[in-house]
Amino acid sequence: MIDINLIRENPGLVKENIKKKFQDKKLPLVDEITELDKKKRALQLEGDNLRAQRNVLAKSIGALMKEGKKEEAEQAKATSKANNERIAVIEKECAEIEGELKKDMMLIPNIIADDVPIGKDDSQNVEGKVFLNHCEKSFDVPYHLDILESLNGIDLDSARRTSGNGFYYLTGDIARLHSAVLSYARDFMIDKGFTYCIPPYMIRSDVVSGVMSFEEMEGMMYKIEGEDLYLIGTSEHSMIGRFMGTVLPENSLPQTLTSYSPCFRKEKGAHGIEERGIYRIHQFEKQEMIVLCKPEESDLWYERLWNYTVELFVSMEIPVRQLICCSGDLADLKYKSCDIEAWSPRQKKYFEVGSCSNLTDAQARRLGIRYKAENGRNEFVHTLNNTVVAPPRMLIAFLENHLQADGSVYIPPVLRPYMGGKEKLVPGK
């Protein structure tokens, strides 16, 4: 949610930003907000004047009674009563307008960064840097499910019976590899100075509406029937919600946190043949980075965060690239964002394995997260989040890039301590 002062002072900039995001249907909201805001402020001014007049009248009534001016005192009482009735009406109207304003303001997208490429959808995202150039395999790389099955590492049929499509059992060395990568990612971020956290896996609706747009919420979140609770789609949700309604000491910033959690997502819609298997699923685990910082530091932290993910994947000898998200591919709360994509030797292209976002103060405004600045004022923090690693997409990249001609899978040195010293995974008979 943006600062309403921006709409008051520069509605043209807000409209231009909406156009850059190809959301022209939201343009009328700017004028609607402007009119509602004017009406609310006029009512508030009227209410303030009436309260001031009421205070004057309250003092005068006693004086008039002492002076024996009963008729004038009664007239002052009647005026005061009428003022009170009008104040009650004003307060009710202001509350209604405030509700409409909040609803409209929640739909206005965050102002995007100047260097965000303009494009309508993800087909117009822009390649950034490439890290660890990929090598061509001398053999055909099988589909990831075939690799997993050759290693006796997955059971989809049983998961369909117990839970339906979009779920799986990981078994044996693959389950161990999955946990090994998460443990390595945890320690990697702790070594970067981040504090490790395990958050609640369910959050209330006021947190959900604070951390994401309504469209995202509808497409992602599972609601617990009969309760005001939602399963988290990423630990960022509950990690940012942890600071809801707080004023942080300036010397406590930046807050640099890394969190583990399972994640639950609806993943609505058809996704195509390459997203069968374990690419898009309803439940997975993830290691996340979250930063709360002062506004002037958020651009620097954004660069650091996505580079940490690159460093992690390169240490596991997996080629990756940065893909810069264009304006039309940014969720409404995002100021800028990029994906980290891993190379697929089978598909001969990159695919997403993580995402980094700077949301400036959009989440902080919705959730009321501030810090006490040097000038004594309470200012909104900036929030950022980034995927450290998210199995099982990482498993796809790992298996394809480290598959050997004999069907075995190479284990890079950084993971061997988490795999009991194993240097490779060998297919079963």
The reported pLDDT for the residue numbered 113 is: 97
Fold that domain 122-425 belongs to in CATH: BirA Bifunctional Protein; domain 2 (3.30.930)
Structure tokens at 421: 């010293």
DSSP H or E stretch at residue 230: strand 230-231
Q: State the Cα–Cα distance between residues 213 and 333, nearest whole angstrom.
A: 7
Structure tokens at 385: 């989040």
State the virtual CA torsion across 190, 196, 201, 204 in degrees, nearest 10: -120
Report DSSP state, residue 349. E
Q: Which stretches does DSSP call E strand in 265-392?
A: 283-293, 320-324, 336-344, 349-358, 370-372, 378-380, 382-389
Q: Is the dihedral of CA 420, 421, 426, 429 positive or negative?
A: negative
* Residue 418: CB atoms within 10 Å: 18
How deeply is 420 buried, as exposed, middle or buried, from its count of CB atoms within 10 A (0-12, 13-18, 19+)? exposed
The phi, psi pair for 272, rounded to 5°, reads: 95, 165
How deeply is 270 buried, as exposed, middle or buried, from its count of CB atoms within 10 A (0-12, 13-18, 19+)? exposed
Q: State the Cα–Cα distance between residues 261 and 208, nearest whole angstrom.
A: 16
* Residue 165: CB atoms within 10 Å: 11
Note the pTM of the prediction, 2 decimals: 0.89
Q: State the Cα–Cα distance between residues 167 and 267, nearest whole angstrom.
A: 12
The reported pLDDT for the residue numbered 273 is: 41
Report DSSP state, residue 231. E
Closest CA to 386 of 277, 298, 280, 314: 298
CATH hierarchy code of domain 4-105 = 1.10.287.40
pLDDT in tens, the chain (429 residues): 899 999 999 999 999 999 999 999 999 999 999 999 999 999 999 999 998 988 888 778 777 777 777 788 778 888 888 988 999 999 999 999 999 999 999 999 999 999 999 999 999 999 999 999 888 899 999 999 999 999 999 999 999 999 988 899 999 999 999 999 999 999 999 999 999 999 999 999 999 988 887 677 777 889 999 999 999 999 999 999 999 999 999 999 999 999 999 999 887 554 444 456 787 888 999 999 999 999 999 999 999 999 999 999 999 999 999 999 999 999 999 999 999 999 999 999 999 999 999 999 999 999 999 999 988 899 999 999 999 999 888 999 999 999 999 999 999 999 999 999 999 999 986
The structural domains of the chain, with segments of one domain joined by +, span: 4-105, 122-425
